[in-house]
Amino acid sequence: MKLEILPSLLAADYGRLADEIRRAEESGADALHLDIMDPHFVPNLSFGPDMVALSRRVAPNFYRNVHLMMSRPDLYLEAFAKAGAQTIQIHVEADCDLHTELPRIRALGVKPAIVLNPETPIERIAPYLDEVDEVLVMTVHPGYGGQKFIADCLPKIEWLRARRPAMDLMVDGGVNATTAVDSVRAGANQLVAGSYLFGKPDMAAAVADMRERCRCFLR
């Protein structure tokens, strides 16, 4: 499997967004993770499709992975696809019919992915596994960057990797040089890191170091 590292733009310096997007691309990271929040689904607000469009304008070749922390992602799929989302991740806890919405994402020319929160049992996503290209296991309660990694979520990754040896499995929340290795050992191959990577003056060195530490544990 390929190890992928995704800086989360949520942790960028918003006074220099274009430079921050370029810094993430030039770090050697594999894709940009864009966290879209509505205050019904999480206790916070972030940004919308315009930020995805900005990322495409500034770094057209830097893959855009869009995480919708929204109660009604179904109302915004076209807008995010049009703005340049290349993967759209929707939560199993969202208030919409995933058997309808996941195929709709694919029909828009975007890869569909499913996400589950720390308190959600892994069995909840089983009915959708054949409809997605990727599963994101949250390792914090979504809403804010900079939280502590919840290691109790790792058995979900093990459960998924045992059943889907070739599927992309992502972790998001509290990922740093240590918890990245724990996640890859459990079977993850995609790592989102916000505050850890954007907080480093030399992001490229941090990305290279994370890759090197995880390499020998990759399945």
* Rounded to 5°, angle at Cα 10 from 7 and 11: 70
Under rule CB under 5 A, which residues in 180-209 are in contact with Zn ion?
none
Residue 7 touching ligand DX5 (CB under 6 A): no
Nearest approach, Cβ of 215 to Zn ion (angstroms)? Answer: 24
Nearest approach, Cβ of 41 to ligand DX5 (angstroms)? Answer: 10
- Backbone conformation region of residue 199, classed left if phi is above 0, alpha if psi is from -120 to 50, else beta: alpha
Catalytic-residue membership of 172: yes
Q: Which two tokens stand for residue 216?
A: 């020998």
Per annotation, catalytic residue among 35, 74, 168, 182: 35
Judged by beta carbon, residue 56 or residue 67, the one nearer Zn ion is 67
Q: What number of residues does the chain have?
A: 219
Which of the ranges 73-81, 95-103, 168-176, 210-218 carries the binding residues for Zn ion, by CB under 5 A?
Answer: 168-176
From CA 204, how far away is CA 6, in angstroms rounded? Answer: 12
Q: Which of 95, 44, 86 is nearest to 67 (CA)?
A: 86
Residue pointed to by tokens 């993967």 = 87
- Under the rule (CB under 6 A), what is the footprint of ligand DX5? 8, 10-11, 33, 35, 67, 140, 142-147, 172-175, 192-196
Catalytic residues: 35, 172
